């Protein structure tokens, strides 16, 4: 069975977004519920997000999809999603994007990415990475971690690579992700203090302790509390 390409995944996700947005236009009292998941490479965060998506019936927006939606070459996707919203939502997103990043050139990635995340957050969904926890304070913001040795073993198993390669990839990934988050935070207004970035998570889970299934269940319970899932389901 052939795997879907990133562009095909984006097209499918955008079509789902358009349908959900139009459906919610007829239910103005509904409030979008969003879970953001930041994770260390090899910690199992993506598998947890997939499980949550299946349990809740929500789309999972992973970092590759977000990058494509935000990229200049595929702005048509962002435009389609934006147009699927009503005028009030469009105005709110434009105002919030401007307040977050000021007068940044609208054609640069760092402005388009937050705008894409804000658009996505108009519907129920799960957003994986890309600093979404900094942009969506009303979401349930989860951080998934695991000890280095566990992460290395997981990466070796799922990628079929050597321990040396896994450790090298882990080091590069950790540095790149920390650099990206700090750079995004430095562009926001008001700017989060460098030492306070960890405080922007509602829940930090160690998958070495709780496993994938247990972690997913913990997130569902936390979502019940913060997002009032049962009250609005």
Q: Is the pTM of this model over 0.85?
A: no
Please write the tens of the pLDDT for every residue from 172-223: 999 988 888 888 887 776 666 655 666 789 999 999 999 999 999 999 999 9
- Write down the pLDDT at residue 107: 45
Q: If pLDDT is split at 50, 70 and 90, which confidence band does 43 have? A: very high
Radius of gyration, CA atoms only, the chain: 18
Counting residues of the chain whose pLDDT is more than 90, the rounded percentage is 40
Domain ranges in the chain?
32-232
Q: Which of the four pLDDT bands, split at 50, 70 and 90, describes residue 233? A: very low
- Please name the CATH architecture into which domain 32-232 falls: 3-Layer(aba) Sandwich (3.40)
The closest of 128, 125, 123 to 19, measured between CA atoms, is 123
* Greater model confidence, 32 or 77: 32
Angle at alpha carbon of residue 169, lines to 163 and 173, rounded to 5°: 145
pLDDT confidence band for 27 (50 / 70 / 90): very low
pLDDT value, residue 149: 94
Decide if 37 contacts 48 (C-beta within 8 A). yes
User: Residue 162: which pLDDT band, with cuts at 50, 70 and 90?
Assistant: very high
Name the one residue in this structure whose structure tokens are 């965060």.
Answer: 45
Asked whether the predicted pLDDT for residue 35 surpasses 90, the reply is yes
Q: What was the pLDDT predicted at 221?
A: 95
Q: For residue 181, what pLDDT is reported?
A: 86
Q: Tokens 């009303």 belong to which residue?
A: 138
Give the sign of the dihedral formed by CA 219, CA 221, CA 227, CA 232. positive
pLDDT at 133: 92
Q: 87 or 162: which carries more pLDDT confidence?
A: 162
Greater confidence, 185 or 161?
Answer: 161
pLDDT at 28 over 50: no
Quote the pLDDT of residue 29.
41
User: Looking at the predicted structure, is the pLDDT value of residue 119 above 90?
Assistant: no
* Range from 11-25, 122-136, 143-157 carrying the lowest mean pLDDT: 11-25
Identify whether the C-beta of residue 132 lies closer than 8 Å to the C-beta of residue 114. Answer: no
Sole residue written with tokens 């435009």: 79
């Amino acid at each position: 069975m052939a795997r879907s390409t990133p562009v095909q995944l984006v097209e499918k996700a955008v079509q789902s977004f358009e349908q959900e947005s139009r459906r919610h236009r007829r239910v103005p009292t509904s409030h979008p519920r969003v879970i953001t998941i930041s994770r260390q490479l090899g910690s199992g965060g993506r598998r947890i997000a997939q499980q949550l998506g299946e349990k809740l019936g929500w789309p999972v927006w992973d970092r590759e999809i977000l990058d494509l939606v935000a990229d200049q070459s595929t702005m048509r996707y962002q435009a389609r999603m934006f147009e699927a919203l009503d005028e009030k939502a469009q105005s709110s997103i434009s105002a919030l994007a401007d307040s977050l990043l000021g007068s940044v050139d609208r054609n640069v990635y760092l402005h388009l990415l937050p705008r894409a995340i804000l658009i996505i957050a108009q519907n129920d969904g799960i957003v994986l990475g890309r600093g979404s926890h900094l942009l969506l304070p009303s979401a349930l913001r989860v951080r998934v971690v695991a000890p280095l040795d566990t992460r290395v073993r997981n990466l070796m198993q799922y990628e079929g690579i050597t321990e040396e390669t896994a450790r090298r990839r882990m080091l590069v990934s950790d540095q790149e992700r920390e650099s990206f988050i700090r750079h995004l935070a430095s562009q926001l207004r008001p700017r989060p203090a460098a030492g306070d970035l960890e405080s922007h998570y509602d829940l930090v889970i160690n998958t070495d302790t709780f496993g994938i299934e247990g972690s997913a269940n913990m997130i569902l319970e936390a979502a019940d509390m913060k997002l009032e899932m049962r009250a609005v389901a």
